[in-house]
Amino acid sequence: MSAIHPTAFVDPAAELGRDVTIEPYAVVEAHTVVGDGARIGPHAVVHAHATVGPRTHLHAHAIVGGWPQDLAFDPATVSTVVIGADCVLREGVTVHRGTKSDSVTRLGDRCFLMANSHVAHNCTLGNQVIMANGALLGGYVEVQDQVFISGNCVVHQFCRIGRLAMMSGLSAVSKDVPPFCVVENSSTNTVAGLNVVGMRRGGISAEERLAIKRVYGVVYHQDLNTEQALQQLAKDPPQGPAAEMVAFIQASQRGICRHR
């Protein structure tokens, strides 16, 4: 049985799962889906065509599916936000819907977005992504699984943040961050080493960590440009997570962050 406070507004065209809680003055618009056990906090808003996954909790004043902050956006556009299961969106979080027709802004499962963080239109977040207070993602950013973005970080539109990367507080990037790297906050687009603690917690073995360290050394410590580093690594292709790191760098369109 769902619990809907009498001051909340739930459009009759909204689809609510079982055991949903909707708190005072919350708004759930038409053509939305709210999964089983989800909680929509006071004054939170779920805009039209958004999906909130099972057991996800929107805290006070969180807004999901608002218009994108794009001057070219047509309000008649039908686009969506999809939030996965078991996510937590704290106070004042904003997740904007896609800017083009039928496009999606998507969060995976078990993401934790802290107060006043922002996910812009057409972003894609993997599973278990953490964004600390005030972290900001521009449009079309891709954040892979288990990334930690610290407080007041900024990510330029179209950038990619690789799996298990970590951005230090107040850091900024306008280039891609390879998997497993730590972004330095002393200057823009700078990595300072590998996220060893994160890799251990993520189940990456000591042998796999050594292989990742080798890739990092070739890319950043041999006075090679990116193309030369990839050519060097191709002579003895790494396996496992280290190969993932190489593939990420190969696919980069914006270029990767430099070493401190």
pLDDT in tens, 61-90: 999 999 999 999 999 999 999 999 999 999
Answer whether 71's CB lies under 8 Å from 95's CB.
no
Classify residue 202 by its DSSP letter.
Answer: T
Q: Using the 3D structure, point to which of 140, 156, 183 is the last residue of a domain.
A: 140
Provide the sign of the torsion angle of the four alpha carbons 200, 206, 211, 216, taken in this order. Answer: positive
Residue 210 lies in a domain: yes
pLDDT in tens, 184-203: 998 999 999 999 999 999 99
User: What domain range is 220 assigned to?
Assistant: 200-259
Looking at the structure of the chain, the number of domains it has is 2
Residue 208 lies in a domain: yes
Report the pLDDT value the prediction gives residue 260, as an integer from 0 to 100: 83
pTM attached to this predicted model: 0.97
Count CB atoms within 10 A of the CB of residue 146.
Answer: 22
pLDDT in tens, 4-47: 999 999 999 999 999 999 999 999 999 999 999 999 999 999 99
Report the pLDDT value the prediction gives residue 204, as an integer from 0 to 100: 98
Residue 187 lies in a domain: no
The pLDDT of residue 259 is above 90: yes
State which amino acid sits at residue 196: V
Query: For residue 23, what are the contacts with CB-CB under 8 A and spacing of at least 6?
Result: 5, 8, 39, 40, 41, 42, 44
SS3 243: helix
22 and 92 inside one domain: yes
The pLDDT of residue 1 is above 80: no
